[in-house]
Structure 1
Amino acid sequence: MSTFTRTSTGTTSDGKNGTMNATREATTREATRRPRLSGMTWLVWRQHRAAFWTILAAAALSVAWMVYQRGQLVDFLDGYGYPGKDLSDADGAFQQYDDAFSSVAFGLQAIPVLLGVFLGAPLLAGDLENGTAKLVAAQSMSRTRWLATKLALTGLVVLVSTVALSAVFGWWWSPVKSEVTVLDWTSTDAFNNTGPVPFALTLLSVFGGVAIGAVLRRTLMAMVVTFGFSVLVQLVWGHFLMSLGNVITVTSNKGVVAEDAFPSLPKGAYQLDESYLTGGGDLLGWGTCNEATDQARELCMKKADVVGWSVDYLPMSQMNGMQWFGASILFALTAGVVAFLFLWGRKRLV
């Protein structure tokens, strides 16, 4: 009797332990299981995974290379004695680093065009051309959700890749940022590759390509038109770049020929215009009184009542604000493109 009781108790205990162990193992498996994509998200990622992984891998390699170049640059500057010594006295030793900045900046500026053509244009045009869109429309998922998932995943990939490249490029450039001879902050090489601008430009090009593909419904034609659209965006953006800042005017009243007559500007400031300033506050073009001799020029200045200079410039401190202001405009345009896509997609996206 006692033997039966002990056996029964032991069996019950083992059963409980087994159940508890199984429960713990199941809980551990659930906790350590990696999150998996499912549903529409899985479908879109699987369909475009080659393009997505290529973009992310290329961005990762570029980031690693720029991190290495940054280390090389810092070692050179420390050994050279910068900023105590001027880089202009480096006798060409800095040229390789300057060339590296220019080459990488040129490549980064091509990213909005490349992604617009090879990622944005085929995103919907391929599905509309080969009939995949009709197959998706026949399923239980709505076309709106399908479109939203495509745009969301594409935007996420663009965000991760461009923000990483922008941050690391800015970090690489930061030790010599005030040297206009390396990269002028007002140039597209610097302005378009740092801060929020790369993401904003790329997103507009990519989503613009998506909209073009949705309208044209032919992949090759959409890619050609998207190329023109992306290049046009870059040109227009570059044309209005300097209008994003608040122009500062500084004047002097020590004449125009004295050694210290010209107003001093902050380091890295971008000069927009310069004029002669008269005693009455009027501005005359700097070509005024462009006489052949110094004596005739001085007499002309006196007759015109020129008392000094008036200079318009943009300080380097405005760069970040200008970038965010410009990026907000680009984001607004992108939002308009997205709104068009959803309105178009409700009736024409099959």
Structure 2
Amino acid sequence: MRGSLWLAWRQQRTAVAAGAAVLLAVAALAAYSRSGMLDDLRGGLFDRCESGPLYCTGPDGRILFLDIDPLRYLGALNIALPVLIGVFWGAPLLGRDRELGTHRTVLAQGVSRAQWFSSRYALAAVSAVALSGLLARLFTWWWQPAQDRSYGLFWYETSALSGSGPRVVAATLFGLAAGTLLGLLCRRVLAAMGWTLLVTGAVVLALEVLHKTRTLVAPHTYTSAGIAPKPEMGDKWSTGHYGLITADGRRASVETCPFPSGGELRRCMEQHHFVARFYEANPAGDYWSFQWTDTALLGGLALLLTLATVLLLRRRV
């Protein structure tokens, strides 16, 4: 390792070491907590619990849960990772040299702008991918014994849907790219960090809103004829939209006929010409639809921001 890459390592080794320390700490916590989860499951207390959204109670009548709070904290960390990487790694990546003027010394030594940028950005990107990928993999490994169980964590909960899978890696690269570009554009690193916090935080929150509203991945409609039992919800993610349908497809709220079953429901449906009941939900298989949609969106933004940084290098440095 020499030249601009050696200098990039010297400047980023503290951040790399901090990321490695976080990863080791999380791995130790995951191994310890997952072992405890498996011991609880092998103890037989949860044997009577079936999969699905309904709670399971123990012999004493208390609702049974595994200790998954630490797992949720890891999911929250993975969701916040693009913000943290963007603010504390991306913003100073080019911004610190520009603010102090040390980039002029480097460029005066025969190092081109492309080398100065690529060595720093490549090291940061590889480190960010390794860190985010391993944290996402740790979450999935830790989550597996309690996945989609009433006593565990369902796929559509925020910590699982946004804190696992390839979207964590794409989001981290987006955070790094946003911070790097803003570090190049702003005159002060502190200002770049503030703008990065605002931009990356807004994108993370916007994606959560899009998940809740099912804007990017449309829900499925499940129907049952007449007063026949509705298809089981199971591990589907309900939109909260359910009701009744007429023969011509018109939908009405369930409050029109607020009866669970039986003769009252039948008479009400006949009176209003309803022929079926429905509800909207995303099945468990849509987990990957959400994942790849987010990955494409965030990865595309990361690529565009990186290209913008490359194009602005000559003007700003």
Same fold by TM-score greater than 0.5: yes
Correspondence for 2:21:
57
Q: Do 2:225 and 2:275's aligned partners in 1 also have CA atoms closer than 8 Å? A: yes
2:219 aligned with 1:247: yes
Relative distance call for 1:303 and 1:253 in structure 2 (3 A) is: same
Q: Do 1:263 and 1:309's aligned partners in 2 also have CA atoms closer than 8 Å? A: no
Give SS of 1:312's match: strand
Correspondence for 1:224:
194
Identity of aligned residues (%): 28
Task: Return structure 1 stretches of 4+ with deviation > 3 angstroms.
Answer: 81-87, 90-96, 294-301
Q: Deviation of residue 131 (structure 1)?
A: 0.4
Q: Which residue type is aligned with residue 40 of structure 1? A: S
Q: Do 1:180 and 1:268's aligned partners in 2 also have CA atoms closer than 8 Å? A: no
Distance 1:193 1:203 in 2: 15
Q: Which residue type is aligned with residue 220 of structure 1? A: L
Q: Which residue type is aligned with residue 100 of structure 2? A: N
Q: Deviation of residue 64 (structure 1)?
A: 2.1
Distance 1:40 1:333 in 2: 27
2:44 aligned with 1:80: yes
Q: Deviation of residue 95 (structure 1)?
A: 4.7
**1:1-350 paired onto structure 2 within 5 Å:** 37-80=1-44, 82-86=46-50, 88-90=56-58, 95=65, 97-179=67-149, 182-241=152-211, 242-255=214-227, 260-265=228-233, 267-272=234-239, 273-289=241-257, 300-348=268-316, 350=317
Greater shift after overlay, 189-198 or 60-69? 60-69
Q: Report which of the two structures shows the higher radius of gyration computed on alpha carbons.
A: 1
Q: Which residue type is aligned with residue 282 of structure 2? A: L
* 5+ long unaligned stretches in structure 2: none
Q: Do 1:67 and 1:168's aligned partners in 2 also have CA atoms closer than 8 Å? A: no
Q: Do 1:120 and 1:209's aligned partners in 2 also have CA atoms closer than 8 Å? A: yes
Q: Deviation of residue 111 (structure 1)?
A: 2.1
Relative distance call for 1:263 and 1:326 in structure 2 (3 A) is: same
Structure with the higher fraction of residues in helix conformation: 1
Q: Cα RMSD between the aligned structures? A: 2.4
What TM-score does the superposition give when structure 1 sets the normalisation length? 0.80
Relative distance call for 1:96 and 1:175 in structure 2 (3 A) is: closer
* 5+ long unaligned stretches in structure 1: 1-36
Distance 1:92 1:216 in 2: 56
Q: Deviation of residue 172 (structure 1)?
A: 0.7
Distance 1:253 1:308 in 2: 4
Q: Which residue type is aligned with residue 53 of structure 1? A: A
Q: Deviation of residue 315 (structure 1)?
A: 0.7
**Pairs aligned (count):** 306
Q: Deviation of residue 228 (structure 1)?
A: 1.0
Q: Which residue type is aligned with residue 42 of structure 1? A: W
Give SS of 2:255's match: coil
Distance 1:61 1:138 in 2: 41
Give SS of 2:256's match: coil
Give SS of 2:285's match: helix
